[in-house]
Amino acid sequence: MTPQLHLDTLQALEEGERKQQLQIRRQRRPYTLIVLPGIVLTILFLIPFLWGIYLSLTGYRLNLPRQVFNWGANYRILFTSWYFWQSTFITFVYTAGAVAIEMVLGYYIATLLDHETVMSRIMRRLIVLPFMVAPIIGTLLLKLMLNNRFGVVNYLLGFAGLRNFPWAASSNTAMLTVVLVDVWIFTPFVVLILFAGKRGIAKDPIAAASVDGAGTIAVTRKVILPMMMPTVLIALIFRVIDSIIAFDIVWGMTGGGPGNATTVYSITGYVRAFLSLDVAKGTAVLVVAWLIVFLVSQQLVKQWNRARKRLA
Amino acid sequence: MATTPANDSAVRQRILATEREPLRVRAYVNVALGVVGVAFLFPIAWMVVLSFKSQAQITSMPPDLFSSFTLENYRSVLNIGVSYSSVSKASLMEIKSTEFLQGMLNTTVVSFFSVAISALVGIPAAYGLSRYKNALKDQLAFTFLSFRFVPQLLVIIPLYLIYQKIGLYGTYFGVIWASSLVSIPFVVWITRSYMDDIPLEIEEAALMDGHTRRDVFFRIILPLAKPGIAASIIISFIAVWNNFTFGFVLATTRLQPVTVKILSFYDITDMNYGRIAAAMMLATLPMILVSQVAAKYLVSGMSMGAVRK
Amino acid sequence: MSTTIALSHIWKRFGSKVALADVSFEVQPGEFFVLIGPSGAGKTTTLRVLAGLESPSSGVVRFGERVMNDVPPQARNARMAFENYSLYPHLSVRENLASPLRAQKANKREVAERIDRIATMLGLETLLDRAPRELSGGQRQRVSLGRALIVESNLLLLDEPLAHLDARIRHELRAKFHDIKSFLSRGAVIYVTHDYLEALSLADRIGVLVAGSLQQIGTPEDVYYRPSNITVARLVGQPAINLLRARIVTENGALCADVGPVRLPLSGEIAQALEAAKAQTVILGIRPQFWNLSHSRPADAERWVEAKIGLYEIRNYKGVIRADRDNSSWLALTDTYRDPVEGSPIWLQPQWDRTLLFDEGGMRISASTGALGRTALGHS
């Protein structure tokens, strides 16, 4: 190191270094910089969301657009009103029914696809088709087909003596109908995810188990399913949440009816806000739906992480 | 595949049985999948057939499915060379045809721009979230994810009120902006998980070679994250294209996407089934094509990057 | 290109863990400096601090006059070959090599020329259009090296380049490094390894890093014959150096080393050194190859330690005898022309002029001599 630098040169060097350091410090936050637009976007989305929650705590109506804060009054009313609990029950039935059928059916079809046959190779490509149709469009299509006067399904059912099955027209069968539509559109989703998961698991433990003499059902329960747990949970998370917040299918098929037979949360929220003009109560219902989704998803994600760790 | 040498001939039989699929199993699979195929694809096949049939053929009892096919429905829906009489019903149909085309245009525009915005903002954000992990960024990532899991109406209703106040109601910008809510979580989460798979050391090697951070992003990260980016763009495009609720609440008639338009065509008292089937076909065909062309990206897209090859 | 690379009092902490403790050294341009130490010692961390991939918790990094602490890696004009090669998987070998040139916006002709030269030097001509995943470990290693060499730099950092290769290839490449050394006349080279043989054969100077602190800096001879403490002595040499505790006593007027079973009389330089140091107990450091061995009882048996051959095996083409006496055993190297019989007696005597002396704290008593008869001073 040269000891002979003159004082002013030293000063100049130091200044230069300082300037450079400032520049470099700015460069030092490259990651924060590129996330910035994302943060801006997030804030812009959070605003309506948070305002929605705020609205649920006021007495806002479309014909009385004044935000008078009334604390939890709406929620109190909600929790003591029949239509809210009915909606809760209906949402629960819808979710449980649709998810159960989709998961079981989806798993079954995924196993079928896991073989190498003519049909399996064809179906791997085609099974996704119902999922590609927009849910509202698919619903209208099925609505046409299920019409009890001129729908093709009832025409065919006529041969089995069920010519006048009411489908969406009767409150007894309306729930079954919307669940059926949900199953038609979303089982392929479950199939694809479970199929990919199945393809991803190691084959050796399965072979070892059958060499050890285990029958198919035991192998499935004790070997395959545990290995597929993360994938199963992923499919479960998506389907459960999407069912709780479902709107398109129910709106397209029955609009919530007949009567209140299919008023899931989102339908109740919409009807309250735009048809009863009670925005505050509408958003309140939706906030409750969101909270349920939040809690359920937290639990399921926890399970998912646990399942992944177990397999690591 | 067999890991244990089997001396016992019964065990050897069992191993062999699992390796070569016997005819019995194959036949069962084919039949079962045949039933599954019919059940799931029948409505789509029905939609295709109906779109080529005239109203008279459809409403006859039993329906006349196989005799002749017509392009009349498509022509009318697309408003190509329509010959209409002066009957008021026909002019109603004509309005609906232009409305349908308008709907297709709207859907295309909104899908394209929503995904474009989401990609421009989301891909760099995914990179930042992937590389620089701290509590705040984690929170941000989960906030992005939560958009996927929020009841859409919870955001749409306030947005409807806000838009009216600030004059965005009934504008393309408003609908595009709102629809980005659907696509951004896909882009950020899927891209982020693929970027997580890129070893940090490769970026460090590039820095040691003298590349700037900008170079590293464009020359190293983007090419290596391409499958993730492709999957996220495809799945979010499909999600926006097929979306109903945003257009249902936030769009004026002029701006409605095709999903809303088709709902408006559904009028139990006066409906041309062939025409509505044709409209549904046209609205769905692009997505069916996408699913076949981009099949390998679908699963990772659908699972938000949780299941990736 | 003639900048001296200097680390001054570098500390690096990761949370509560101290990775580097007061590390200081300098490397001159053109010098081949090897950093050696067991795994986890902090060698890679040191390289990363020099590269700019980590910031020191305290201390200064200088390239020549310039303080580099806040300079990002891409601006340092330093090149690094990573332990795991870190090749770009989506680029061909050619493009991997060209990467530093592209960063400098070199023109096509220069790129082609340099790639040609490097490829020929490293034997990569036929591999230029392959993808990294199609290459073997040795080939990837050479590409990684080529990428680091293709542009001249102030500082070349090589992180365990030969670690993951099998023995034969390692041998070949180690020879290649000697060739490369002449090519690297301009900048400083810092090479990291845990293999002391590589260090001894390639280095101009060696730095021994253990648990984050530098134990010694010196030439290969310094480190081998004049290790500054027993940690260094143990690290450099295989089989490891024998360490015997000895009490210094006077018997019949002569200084003796009491090693437990036996008292060995001392004379000459080593006796002088011990007297000067006034040591009561010492640790004797006897490398396995620096024993005198006798398979039959020698004439002056009182100057020898009698033991039994507990084990004999051949390691690395050399015969290793484990001699046992009571609770102690010592390793000795011997030729392989005859097979010693396990269980038979053996007599060992330290070659006193090659014996190292360490005090109770493990520090070498600097007055002890090495083969070259000079005393070492550790590092400045």
Q: Which chains touch A (3 or more CB pairs under 8 A)?
A: B, C
If you average pLDDT over each of A219-228, C95-104, C231-240, which comes out highest? C95-104
CATH fold group of domain C242-358: OB fold (Dihydrolipoamide Acetyltransferase, E2P) (2.40.50)
Contact between C328 and C260 (Cβ < 8 Å) = yes
Say yes or no to pLDDT of A294 above 50: yes
Say yes or no to pLDDT of C338 above 90: no
Six token digits for residue B156: 């749409």
Six token digits for residue A224: 């395959």
CB pairs under 8 A between A and B: 265
Burial of A40 (C-beta count, 10 Å sphere; 0-12/13-18/19+): exposed
Q: What is the pLDDT of residues A217-271, one digit of tens each?
A: 777 777 888 888 999 999 999 999 999 999 999 999 998 888 889 999 999 999 9
Of B123-127, B229-233, C371-375, least confident by mean pLDDT is C371-375
- Identify which of B273, B258, B267 has the alpha carbon closest to the alpha carbon of residue B51: B273
- Higher pLDDT, residue A10 or B57: B57
- pLDDT grade for C277, boundaries at 50, 70 and 90: confident
Contact A24 C71 (CB under 8 A): yes
- pLDDT grade for C328, boundaries at 50, 70 and 90: confident
Max CA pair span of chain B? 87
Chain B residues 191-220 with CB within 8 Å of chain C: 199, 201-202, 204-213, 215, 220
- pLDDT grade for B16, boundaries at 50, 70 and 90: low
Contact between B241 and B111 (Cβ < 8 Å) = yes
Contact B210 C151 (CB under 8 A): yes
If you average pLDDT over each of A71-80, B277-286, C231-240, which comes out highest? B277-286
Orientation of helix C167-183 relative to helix C108-122, angle to 10°? 130
Orientation of helix B135-148 relative to helix B172-196, angle to 10°? 130
Residue A172 is given by DSSP the state T
Residue A58 is given by DSSP the state B
Q: What is the pLDDT of residues A102-134, one digit of tens each?
A: 999 999 999 999 988 889 999 999 999 999 999
Extents of the domains making up chain B: 9-75, 90-302
Predicted pLDDT at B86: 36
Q: How far is A3 from chain B (nearest CA, A)?
A: 31
Six token digits for residue C217: 């800096």
Q: What is the pTM of this model?
A: 0.84
Say yes or no to pLDDT of A289 above 90: yes
Which chain A residues are Cβ-neighbours of C67 within 8 angstroms? 17
Q: Report the distance separating Cα C271 and Cα C255, nearest Å.
A: 7
The bridge status of strand C155-159 relative to strand C188-193 is: parallel
Contact C99 B212 (CB under 8 A): no
Of A47-56, B48-57, B85-94, B102-111, least confident by mean pLDDT is B85-94
List Cβ<8 Å contacts ≥24 apart for A9-13: A13/C65
Contact A126 B238 (CB under 8 A): no
- Dihedral angle of Cα C162, C163, C169, C172, to the nearest 10 degrees: 30
- pLDDT grade for C175, boundaries at 50, 70 and 90: confident
Checking ipTM against 0.90, whether it exceeds it is: no
Predicted pLDDT at C74: 93
What number of H helices and E strands is found in chain C? 9, 20
Tell me what the mean pLDDT of segment B258-273 comes to.
84
Q: Report the distance separating Cα C22 and Cα C213, nearest Å.
A: 7
- Higher pLDDT, residue B137 or C74: C74
- pLDDT grade for A3, boundaries at 50, 70 and 90: very low
Q: What is the pLDDT of residues B158-171, one digit of tens each?
A: 999 999 989 888 89
Q: How far is A10 from chain C (nearest CA, A)?
A: 11
Touching check for B136 and chain C: CB below 8 Å? no
Q: What is the pLDDT of residues C123-135, one digit of tens each?
A: 899 999 999 999 9
Q: Which of A24, A25, A29 to mutate to test the interface with C (most CBs of C within 10 A)?
A: A24
Which chain B residues are Cβ-neighbours of C73 within 8 angstroms? 204, 207-208
Which domains are present in chain A? 7-55 (no CATH), 75-311 (1.10.3720.10)
How many angstroms separate the first and last alpha carbons of chain B?
Answer: 21
Contact B210 C80 (CB under 8 A): no
Say yes or no to pLDDT of C366 above 80: no
Per-residue DSSP letters for C187-254? SEEEEEES-HHHHHHH-SEEEEEETTEEEEEE-HHHHHHS-SBHHHHHHSSSSPPEEEEEEEEEETTE
Please say whether the structural domain C5-235 has been given the CATH code 3.40.50.300.
Answer: yes
Residue A273 is given by DSSP the state I
Say yes or no to pLDDT of C218 above 90: yes
Contact between B148 and B304 (Cβ < 8 Å) = yes
User: What mean pLDDT is reported for chain B?
Assistant: 85
Q: How far is A24 from chain C (nearest CA, A)?
A: 7
The count of C-alpha atoms lying within 13 angstroms of the C-alpha of B188, restricted to the half-sphere facing its C-beta, is 31
Supply the CATH classification number for the domain B90-302. Answer: 1.10.3720.10
Say yes or no to pLDDT of B267 above 70: yes
Amino acid code (one letter) for C332: A
A146 phi, psi to nearest 5 deg: -95, 0
Contact between C217 and C206 (Cβ < 8 Å) = yes
C371 phi, psi to nearest 5 deg: -60, -30
Tell me what the mean pLDDT of segment C352-371 comes to.
72
- pLDDT grade for A174, boundaries at 50, 70 and 90: very high
Say yes or no to pLDDT of C370 above 50: no
Strands (E), chain C: 5-14, 17-27, 32-36, 58-63, 66-67, 78-81, 155-159, 188-193, 205-210, 213-218, 242-251, 254-258, 263-265, 281-286, 291-294, 305-315, 318-325, 328-334, 345-350, 356-358
Predicted pLDDT at A148: 76
Q: Which of A10, A14, A21, A23 to mutate to test the interface with C (most CBs of C within 10 A)?
A: A21
Q: Report the distance separating Cα B280 and Cα C265, nearest Å.
A: 105
Collect all residues with Cβ–Cβ distance below 8 Å to C297 and sequence separation of at least 6. C306, C345, C347
Residue percentage of chain B with pLDDT more than 90: 50
Helix/strand/coil percentages in chain A, nearest 5: 75, 0, 25
A297 phi, psi to nearest 5 deg: -65, -35
Of B49-58, B294-303, C257-266, least confident by mean pLDDT is C257-266
- Identify which of B73, B59, B107 has the alpha carbon closest to the alpha carbon of residue B257: B107
- pLDDT grade for C62, boundaries at 50, 70 and 90: very high
> Scanning the structure block, which residue is given the tokens 């998810």?
A99
- pLDDT grade for A26, boundaries at 50, 70 and 90: very low
Q: How far is CA B84 from the centre of its chain?
A: 35
- pLDDT grade for C335, boundaries at 50, 70 and 90: confident
Predicted pLDDT at C93: 96
Q: What is the pLDDT of residues B63-111, one digit of tens each?
A: 777 778 888 888 888 876 444 443 445 555 555 667 888 899 999 999 9
Tell me what the mean pLDDT of segment A158-182 comes to.
88
Extents of the domains making up chain C: 5-235, 242-358
Residue A64 is given by DSSP the state B
- Angle A231-A235-A241 from CA coordinates, rounded to 5°: 140
Predicted pLDDT at A193: 93
- List the strands of the sheet with C281-286, edge to edge: C263-265, C254-258, C242-251, C281-286, C356-358
Which chain A residues are Cβ-neighbours of C72 within 8 angstroms? 24, 27-28
Contact between A113 and A120 (Cβ < 8 Å) = yes
Predicted pLDDT at C44: 94
- pLDDT grade for A17, boundaries at 50, 70 and 90: very low
Collect all residues with Cβ–Cβ distance below 8 Å to B293 and sequence separation of at least 6. none
Task: Locate the chain C residue with the closest alpha carbon to B223.
Answer: C90
Number of residues assigned to chain B: 309
Six token digits for residue A249: 């299918």
Residue percentage of chain C with pLDDT more than 90: 44
Cis peptide before A258 (omega within 30 of 0): yes
C20 phi, psi to nearest 5 deg: -130, 130
- Higher pLDDT, residue B185 or B85: B185
- pLDDT grade for C318, boundaries at 50, 70 and 90: confident
Predicted pLDDT at A210: 77
- Angle B223-B295-B52 from CA coordinates, rounded to 5°: 135
Amino acid code (one letter) for C239: P
Q: Report the distance separating Cα B221 and Cα B239, nearest Å.
A: 26
Contact between C324 and C305 (Cβ < 8 Å) = no
Contact A25 C70 (CB under 8 A): yes
Say yes or no to pLDDT of B303 above 60: yes
Cis peptide before B62 (omega within 30 of 0): yes
Contact B207 C147 (CB under 8 A): no
Residue B133 is given by DSSP the state -
Q: Report the distance separating Cα C36 and Cα C201, nearest Å.
A: 12
Which chain C residues are Cβ-neighbours of B201 within 8 angstroms? 82, 84, 86
DSSP-based three-state secondary structure for C6? strand
Touching check for A63 and chain C: CB below 8 Å? no
Burial of A67 (C-beta count, 10 Å sphere; 0-12/13-18/19+): middle
